[in-house]
Amino acid sequence: MSTVLSLHLGTTTVYGAVSVGGRIDVLALGDGVIGVAAPDPTDGRALVRLLVDAHARCLRILDAVPDELVLVRPDGATAVDPVLVEAARRARVPEPTILEETRAVAALAAHGPSGVVGDLMGALGGAFWWRSGDAPTGPKPIVTRADLDGGEVGADRRPPAPSVVAVGPRTVFEEPVVRARRRRGLPTPVLAVVAVLVLAALAALLLFGSDDQPIAPAPVPVATTAPPTTTATPAPTAPPTTTAPTTTLAPTTVAPTTTAPTTTTAPPTTEPSTEEQEDGETSSATSVVPSTSPPPTTIAPSLGRVTLSGVGLTLDAASADEVLVAFGDPADGAATELERAMGEAVGDTGWGADPVCTATEVRRLFWSGLEVVLVRDGPEADGRLAQWHLSGRDSTETSLWTLERIGIGSTVADLRAAHPALSLEQPDDGDPAGRFDTEPVLGDGIIGAVHRTTESGRVLLMWAGAACRRWAG
């Protein structure tokens, strides 16, 4: 039986329940607490974190990974459904079944126990809904006297005659009436006649009967002989004829067919061995025609010191020294970490106003084609990391990639393979260039431009963060 995780996304709190082995229990989503604070349903990253943590709790407490996921949301909040689905995909959990609160609570009332605390009804109802389905709808039928009698009941209406002998009342509304009856015996003359006949029969038996003859002849034993068992002898079955192969003709020697193997079974070679050419003999092991197909070129490139992501920049990714410099981190600390990884910035604008940015003051740092944007609300305010922007040379030269190996020079086909939710549009019909967004639903992806929207189109520039405007117009 599958394991089902049910989460009720309430207005202020999230509660969970789990169904394992036919048993449904409340799942505590935190240490020492049953519920956790509910995130904004439009905040994709917060939802991703919630789903990851809930599945981790199942694995930690129940030693089981949920096979199914039910998300119970408020009634009418259909606008958040795409966000919930995309968050589940990002969290790498099962595709959720989205359920309204009313249906979940109704399923609990119909199939679950009574006396459940109101806060837990949504989560438990989602689990009971998955196991038993929706609650029956509509009022229960009311049985009336008209339903039982088969017609309208009136004051003067007599019930129809029964088709069979009735024992007891015909309806539940008719009470049996017990009438006292006086028992009557047989008439006296009849009793006298019966007595005379019995005495006459006894007298005849005494006069004409004999003690040597039984009243009834003794039963004659009959010998019962079982009919002979005739076992049908099966007809002799000829043994299966095994046709021996004909050996009168000499076997025909057919030259072996030399078929080129696929590159998965034999390494590609471009020249046969010299020994084979000199000997002029080809054994069964060397009779294969060598393949001249080039080896595959889909080897993922190595990551550099800095890896790009939709939430910031990762230093020394996939190593023990991995550090995430996230959007919102202090500006001074982010600049220090980036200089440690890539050296001193080749360009620094310093703090100042920028008409294309929303913050009061902006500072831009440059490392080759990588631009890092720091913002603050005033001279006395603390700065923070807000955006990165990549352009210029191909990433094959700079080693500036995303974790999915997307960078400058990647194709549209690479984008689609790495990001199934990719949004790609062509703003101008007269221009083949296009814009892309790797996470259009959650809103925390990477945005960029390609020189054309076909599968062979190449990435020209890309960025993450919303500090400064990058689109023209």
Share of the chain above pLDDT 70, in %: 67
Average pLDDT in the 312-319 region? 90
pLDDT of 17 strictly over 60: yes
Contacting residues for 96 by C-beta, under 8 A, at least 6 apart: 69, 70, 71, 84, 85, 88
Q: Provide the pLDDT for residue 257.
A: 42
Cα separation of 244 and 385, whole Å? 86
Average pLDDT in the 326-355 region? 94
Q: Provide the pLDDT for residue 384.
A: 96
- What burial class does residue 101 get, using C-beta atoms within 10 Å of its C-beta: 0-12 exposed, 13-18 middle, 19+ buried? buried
Q: Provide the pLDDT for residue 345.
A: 94
Q: Quick one: tokens of 77?
A: 């909040």
Angle at which helices 101-111 and 121-132 pack, to 10 degrees? Answer: 70
Phi, psi (deg, nearest 5) at residue 119: -65, -25
* DSSP-assigned letter for residue 230: -
Cα separation of 455 and 415, whole Å? 9
Q: Strand (E) positions, 303-446?
A: 306-309, 312-315, 323-326, 347-348, 361-367, 370-376, 384-390, 401-402, 423-425, 434-437
Half-sphere CA count of 212, side-chain side, radius 13 A = 0
Task: List, for residues 159-192, the tens digit of each pLDDT value.
Answer: 555 444 444 444 444 445 555 455 555 566 667 7
Q: How far, rounded to the nearest angstrom, does the alpha carbon of residue 189 sit from its chain's CA centroid?
A: 93
Closest CA to 375 of 456, 256, 272, 468: 468
Element (H, E) at 416: helix 412-418
pLDDT of 266 strictly over 70: no
The CA-atom distances, in angstroms, between 376 and each of 334, 335, 382, 463 are: 14, 14, 6, 20
| Type of residue numbered 121 | M
pTM for the model stands at 0.53
Average pLDDT in the 276-288 region? 41
Cα separation of 275 and 244, whole Å? 43
- What burial class does residue 44 get, using C-beta atoms within 10 Å of its C-beta: 0-12 exposed, 13-18 middle, 19+ buried? buried
Q: Provide the pLDDT for residue 298.
A: 56
Neighbours of 64 (CB within 10 A): 14
pLDDT of 444 strictly over 90: no
Sign, Cα dihedral of 46, 47, 53, 56: negative
> What does the mean pLDDT of the chain come to?
77
Neighbours of 70 (CB within 10 A): 24
Task: List, for residues 371-417, the tens digit of each pLDDT value.
Answer: 999 999 999 999 999 999 999 999 999 999 999 999 999 999 999 99
Query: Ramachandran region of residue 472, left (φ > 0), alpha (ψ -120 to 50) or beta?
Result: beta
Task: List, for residues 39-65, the tens digit of each pLDDT value.
Answer: 988 888 888 889 999 998 888 888 888
Cα separation of 157 and 163, whole Å? 18
* DSSP-assigned letter for residue 330: B
439 touches 44 (CB < 8 A): yes
Cα separation of 357 and 374, whole Å? 11
Element (H, E) at 9: strand 4-9
Closest CA to 446 of 428, 459, 431: 459
Task: List, for residues 112-128, the tens digit of each pLDDT value.
Answer: 898 888 899 999 999 99
Q: How far, rounded to the nearest angstrom, does the alpha carbon of residue 237 sit from its chain's CA centroid?
A: 59
Cα separation of 121 and 104, whole Å? 8
Q: Provide the pLDDT for residue 171.
A: 47
